[in-house]
């Protein structure tokens, strides 16, 4: 190899290594920390707070009746919680059937629909006598003891608690990969963060807040997409910690179609990049002047590459550089570095995946991993402006969650 080309390639290789090693180390540290997570003990012999279970839905006629009926089956005193369906653009017959149930139905309609608008409109009409607000997606099913555990968690001085959102369907390879991705995020961004004294990430559903606090903070939200990101940053900027309950389960529908997967990820990625741009400098200043690690960590979290793309990039770059180094006899230390980053990345994933996923179904689904990587890459390349428009994720009629 020409000496000038050799030096240029070595410089490029070092830059590429640093670019991939930094996010790999980030997830590895929290993946290891997550192994030491223990659910904080809760006292269940506490007064039953009054809870509003807020379920906004946009054209979710296929699933909303099932979700509403299921939400009424909580092991929580029936007179201490209300199921509130926030119905945006539902069919008239769906509204009639919903009103036959012992729930509250609030109709909303907007020129441009968003989840934050729906929640704010509902809370304008609801009384202020609730203690807690629980937010679900229109496809979410709560475990029967979900509200009992949420209520007990607020004995701690927390303003918000994220429940454990997990898959209720794994009927396609893409749904299995989506379920695995959810659990990896639970391990790294919730378990791992709580072990190291940082706040749990919230997800947009399966989360609970002190009601008045939630109403006040939602009134300031302007997000079209990613309203949960805006809430997180607002809370952490003001030193409010977010808890996590790993044993409080909410079952969430996992995507089964390529176009739904792409649209959903495009919306998420766009929101993350948008809020990183808005808050990185502010969070850095808060870290330096007030030692606000939580806020700074959240901003850094938003610029982390998607886990599936990070894994693909590390494997591809490591293999390519290893082969070039071997063919042209470049110093072996470069290969040691690449072996190290690949090993750390793979271990971070292995540590983060629950043991229940180590089975033949997941192994077969791994064949779809390259497709998932390409779909995620496509979403990343098309994120421009996605946070400025409402991108609806259509849900199917999944009747029941898996038994645990």
Q: Is the pLDDT of residue 92 over 80?
A: yes
Name the percent of the chain lying above pLDDT 70. 89
**For residue 152, what are its two tokens?**
């007990």
- What is the model's pLDDT at position 131? 97
Positive or negative CA dihedral for 155, 216, 276, 302? positive
pTM of the model: 0.88
CA distance 35 to 58: 38
Q: Is the pLDDT of residue 91 over 90?
A: yes
Higher pLDDT, 277 or 402: 277
38-46's contacts with Cβ under 8 Å and 24+ in sequence apart are 39/245, 39/246, 39/247, 40/156, 40/243, 42/149, 42/152, 42/153, 42/155, 43/152, 43/155, 44/148, 44/149, 44/152, 46/151, 46/152, 46/155
CA distance 228 to 387: 13
Residue spans of the domains in the chain: they are 7-36+304-382, 51-260
Sorting pLDDT into bands at 50, 70 and 90, what band is 353? very high
What is the per-residue pLDDT across 237-249, written as a single tens digit (0 to 9) for each? 999 999 999 999 9
pLDDT mean over 49-75? 95
What is the per-residue pLDDT across 380-391, written as a single tens digit (0 to 9) for each? 666 665 555 555
Q: Is the pLDDT of residue 394 over 80?
A: no
pLDDT mean over 294-298? 95
Total H helices, total E strands in the chain: 15, 8
Listed range (43-47, 176-180, 197-201, 371-375) with the worst mean pLDDT:
371-375
Q: Is the pLDDT of residue 400 over 60?
A: no
pLDDT mean over 20-33? 97
What is the per-residue pLDDT across 330-350, written as a single tens digit (0 to 9) for each? 889 999 999 999 999 999 999
Q: Is the pLDDT of residue 256 over 70?
A: no
User: What's the fold here for domain 51-260?
Assistant: Spore Coat Polysaccharide Biosynthesis Protein SpsA; Chain A (3.90.550)
């Amino acid at each position: 190899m020409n000496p000038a080309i050799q030096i240029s390639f070595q410089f490029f290789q070092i830059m590429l290594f640093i670019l991939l090693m930094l996010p790999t180390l980030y997830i590895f540290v929290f993946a290891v920390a997550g192994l030491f997570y223990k659910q904080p003990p809760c006292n269940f012999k506490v007064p039953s707070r009054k809870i509003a279970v807020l379920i906004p839905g946009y054209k979710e006629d296929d699933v909303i009746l099932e979700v509403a009926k299921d939400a009424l089956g909580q092991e929580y005193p029936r007179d201490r919680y209300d199921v509130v369906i926030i119905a945006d653009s539902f069919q008239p017959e769906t509204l009639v059937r919903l009103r036959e149930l012992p729930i509250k139905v609030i109709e909303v309609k907007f020129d441009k629909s968003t989840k934050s608008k729906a929640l704010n409109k509902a809370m304008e009409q609801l009384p202020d006598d609730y203690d807690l607000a629980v937010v679900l997606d229109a496809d979410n099913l709560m475990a029967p003891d979900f509200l009992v555990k949420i209520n007990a968690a607020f004995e701690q001085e927390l303003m918000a608690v994220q429940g454990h959102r997990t898959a209720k369907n794994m009927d396609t390879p893409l749904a299995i990969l989506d379920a695995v991705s959810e659990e990896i995020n639970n391990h790294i961004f919730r378990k791992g963060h709580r072990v190291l004294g940082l706040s749990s990430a919230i997800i947009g559903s399966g989360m609970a807040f002190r009601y008045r606090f939630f109403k006040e903070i939602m009134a300031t939200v302007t997000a079209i997409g990613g309203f949960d990101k805006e809430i997180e940053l607002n809370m952490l900027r003001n030193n409010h910690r977010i808890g996590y309950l790993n044993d409080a389960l909410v079952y969430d529908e996992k995507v089964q179609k390529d176009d739904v997967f792409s649209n959903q990820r495009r919306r998420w990625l766009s929101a993350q990049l948008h809020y990183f741009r808005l808050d990185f400098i502010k969070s850095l200043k808060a870290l330096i002047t007030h030692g606000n690690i939580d806020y700074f960590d959240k901003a850094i979290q938003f610029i982390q590459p998607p886990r599936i793309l990070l894994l693909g990039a590390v494997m591809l770059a490591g293999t390519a550089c290893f082969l070039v180094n071997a063919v042209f006899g470049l110093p072996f230390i470069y290969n040691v570095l690449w072996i190290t980053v690949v090993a750390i990345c793979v271990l971070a994933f292995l540590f983060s995946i629950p043991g229940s996923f180590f089975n033949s179904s997941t192994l077969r689904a791994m064949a779809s991993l390259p497709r998932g990587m390409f779909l995620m890459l496509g979403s990343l390349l098309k994120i421009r402006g996605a946070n400025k428009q409402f991108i609806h994720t259509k849900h199917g009629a999944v009747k029941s969650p898996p038994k645990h």
